[in-house]
Chain A
Amino acid sequence: DIQLTQSPSSLSASVGERVIISCRASQNISSNLNWYQQKPGRAPRILIYGVSTLQSGVPYRFSGSGSGTDFTLTIKSLQPEDFQTYYCQQGYSTPRTFGRGTKVEIK
C-alpha cells in the first residue's frame, strides 16, 4: 500500500499569511495526487486534482505542485474561511490512501 506522509499535522497562521503543506508518498505516484479541504462536521471537498488542477470554484489562492513522491499545497494568502483541515490523497493505486491531515488554525 502507498503511504502518504503529510506535514505538518497542524499549524497556526494569521490571515494573509502564506501556508505550505507537504505530502510525501512512499513510492512514485506520478501526478496522481489530490487535495481536499474538510470543515468540522462536513464532508471533504476536492480542491485540487492531478497535483495542480484547481477544481471549478476553488479560489486561485490555492495551488499545488510536485511530482513523483513529493507534493505541496500552498495557500497564498490565508482567508478566515481557510482555517480547516486539509488532506492529500493518491489515486495511483488501490487501496486509495489519504494523508493524516493538516489542521490549519488561527494564530
Chain B
Amino acid sequence: EEQVVESGGGLVQPGGSLRLSCAASGFTFNNYWMSWVRQAPGKGLEWVAHIKEDGNEKNYIDSVKGRFTISRDNTRNIVLLQMTGLSVDDTGVYFCARERVLRDFWSGDVRYSWFDPWGQGTLVTVSS
C-alpha cells in the first residue's frame, strides 16, 4: 500500500521551531516530488512547499519563505519540514502528500499534477 505518515507536530511558543517528518512507503520515493499542505482550524487547504525528486529544487509559499525549509532523504524515504520563527498563523494540521504527475508522451511536459496519497496529518499549535 502506498502511504505517507507524518510525525513531529506539537505545541510550540511563538518564535519557536519545530521539525516535521514524513515517512513514505509502498512506492519508489525518489521518483516523486513531495509536498506539505496545511489546514488552519476550521479553514481550507493551503499548499506550503514542495521538493523535487532529487532534492535540487524547492518551492515555498511566500508566507513561509526564509522561515521553513523542506528537505528529503532518499535513502530513508523521508521528507522533512524544518519550521522556525513560528507564529500563531502557522497553527494547523500539516499534511504530507506525494505529488503525482502525468506527462505528455511526446514533449515530456507536465499535463496534470495532483496530490495522492495524503498522510493523516500532524497538528502544529503555536501558542503562548
Interface of A toward B, CB cutoff 8 Å: 30-32, 34, 36, 38, 42-46, 49-50, 53, 55, 87, 89, 91-92, 94-101
Q: Which residues of A contact B60 (CB under 8 A)?
A: 95
* B113 close to A91 (CB less than 8 A): yes
The answer to whether A46 and B45 touch (CB under 8 A), given A94-B50, A94-B59, A96-B50, is no
* Number of residues on chain B facing chain A (CB within 8 A): 25
Q: Which residues of B contact A92 (CB under 8 A)?
A: 113
> For the complex, what is the distance from the CA of A49 to the CA of B112, rounded to whole Å?
7
Question: B68 CB to closest chain A CB, in angstroms?
Answer: 13
For B112, give its contact among A42, A50, A101 (CB under 8 Å): A50
* B112 close to A32 (CB less than 8 A): yes
Q: Which residues of A contact B32 (CB under 8 A)?
A: none
* B45 close to A98 (CB less than 8 A): yes
For A46, give its contact among B46, B50, B114, B120 (CB under 8 Å): B114
